[in-house]
Amino acid sequence: MTMNSLKTSPFLKACRREKTSFTPVWFMRQAGRYMKEYRAIRDKVSFLDLCKNPDLCAEVAVTAQEKIGADAAILFSDLLLILEPFGFGLEYTSGDGPVITGKIESRADVDRLPEMEPDGSLQYVSDAVRKTRASLKPAIPLIGFSGLPFTLAAYILEGKSSRIFSKAKHFMTFQPAAWHSLMEKISRAVIRYVNGQIKAGADAIQLFDSWVGCLSSEEYREYVLPHSRAVISGIQKGVPVIHFGTGTGSFLKTFREAGGDVISVDHRIALDQAWEQAGYDVAIQGNLDPLALCGPAAQLRSRVKKILDQAGGRPGHIFNLGHGIVPQTPVDNVIRSIDLVHELSAR
């Protein structure tokens, strides 16, 4: 197959809001613990060692794409790896999720953080992109990814996952200059990191701002938007950018102002409303509730159909979940839902 079949793949066409003969679909966390092939690898290596082994990363990403028949593959990696070259400790504990060590409490702490050169210390990520691209079917696009500055800063300040992000909010409101300086430092690193993935062969980029839903529209605009915009505009032109957030239903217009060719929304908002708010001049990605994949078959079918109906056949819809696949999901339901999207959207 030629370069051409990749450029005209349904996923990349949908990113550009071009007509496709069916709605392309892929799922966040499509390579993960719900899949026995993944668990077999994880029985032998820790999560961090897996992320740092480009051959295994490629194997996991390609196996998942082929097994479920997704229209794109996502790089196997993690959002938080970029924190290590900044000097933070990173540990994945089973049950409690990731733990980040290294305190940031003042402007001086921010100033002490190194200017990051991800090309050097995150070489294993570029290697994983290269190996994954080489072993994927030529017409299947590879999505590279990074966290956006807010979600990365929130992990740095909280030290772990959180529901209310009190430390991050405290820091941004009481030390706004230090906050903006931290966000700028992270932004510069993310731009280099993402452009490195593109150079290594990523065909599209998804930027995760998983936790922005804890902010109001005003907070988003003041503390986050300029930095997300700087990152998005620093990414090499011509490569589609998917801008992902959860809980953004109340401020999608503002969220969209930061940029992105595709806006990815979660399941707390109806897709038709989300697209109307984001604007029809961007593509939309979403938004099946990940738990629908654990429910009864008849319900899964009707929920898939409802989302496709809400998209109304308009070019530029990429079917996905509102958030990632959960570990207890039956793999057959994932395969069935992808078949359903293809079958019900055929035009």
In the complex, the residues that contact ligand CP3 under the rule CB under 6 A are: 28-33, 42, 47, 74, 76, 78-80, 92, 97-98, 145, 161, 208, 210, 324
Report the alpha-carbon distance of residue 57 to residue 157 in Å, rounded: 28
Known catalytic residue at 309: no
Report the alpha-carbon distance of residue 219 to residue 295 in Å, rounded: 36
Question: Which residues lie closer than 8 Å to 80 by C-beta, 6 or more apart?
Answer: 90, 98, 100, 147, 152, 155
Q: How far is the CB of 308 from ligand CP3 (least distance, A)?
A: 22
Known catalytic residue at 130: no
Q: Residue 251 has what DSSP assignment?
A: G
Q: How far is the CB of 80 from ligand CP3 (least distance, A)?
A: 5
Of 33, 221, 301, 336, the catalytic one is 33
Q: How far is the CB of 94 from ligand CP3 (least distance, A)?
A: 7
**Smaller CB separation from ligand CP3, 30 or 329:** 30
User: Which backbone phi and psi does 94 adopt, to 5 degrees?
Assistant: -70, 130
Query: Which ranges constitute the DSSP H helices of 43-165?
Result: 47-51, 54-68, 107-112, 118-121, 123-135, 149-158
Q: Measured in whole angstroms, how far is the alpha carbon of residue 72 from the centre of its chain?
A: 13
Q: How far is the CB of 20 from ligand CP3 (least distance, A)?
A: 22
Question: Which residues lie closer than 8 Å to 119 by C-beta, 6 or more apart?
Answer: 126, 192, 196
Known catalytic residue at 92: no
Known catalytic residue at 33: yes
Known catalytic residue at 29: yes
**Smaller CB separation from ligand CP3, 42 or 306:** 42
Of 71, 78, 203, 261, the catalytic one is 78
Q: Where are the beta strands (DSSP E) in the chain?
A: 73-74, 89-93, 97-101, 142-147, 204-209, 241-245, 262-264, 283-288, 317-321
User: Which backbone phi and psi does 73 adopt, to 5 degrees?
Assistant: -110, 150
- Given a contact cutoff of 8 angstroms between Cβ atoms, the answer to whether 212 and 147 are in contact is no
Q: How far is the CB of 193 from ligand CP3 (least distance, A)?
A: 14
Q: How far is the CB of 347 from ligand CP3 (least distance, A)?
A: 28
Pairing of strands 89-93, 97-101: antiparallel
**Smaller CB separation from ligand CP3, 92 or 301:** 92
**Smaller CB separation from ligand CP3, 166 or 299:** 166
Evaluate the omega torsion of the peptide bond into residue 333 and state whether it is cis, within 30 degrees of 0.
no
**Smaller CB separation from ligand CP3, 11 or 145:** 145
**Smaller CB separation from ligand CP3, 178 or 318:** 318
Of 34, 38, 155, 220, the catalytic one is 155
Report the alpha-carbon distance of residue 274 to residue 249 in Å, rounded: 7
Residues classed as catalytic: 29, 33, 42, 78, 155
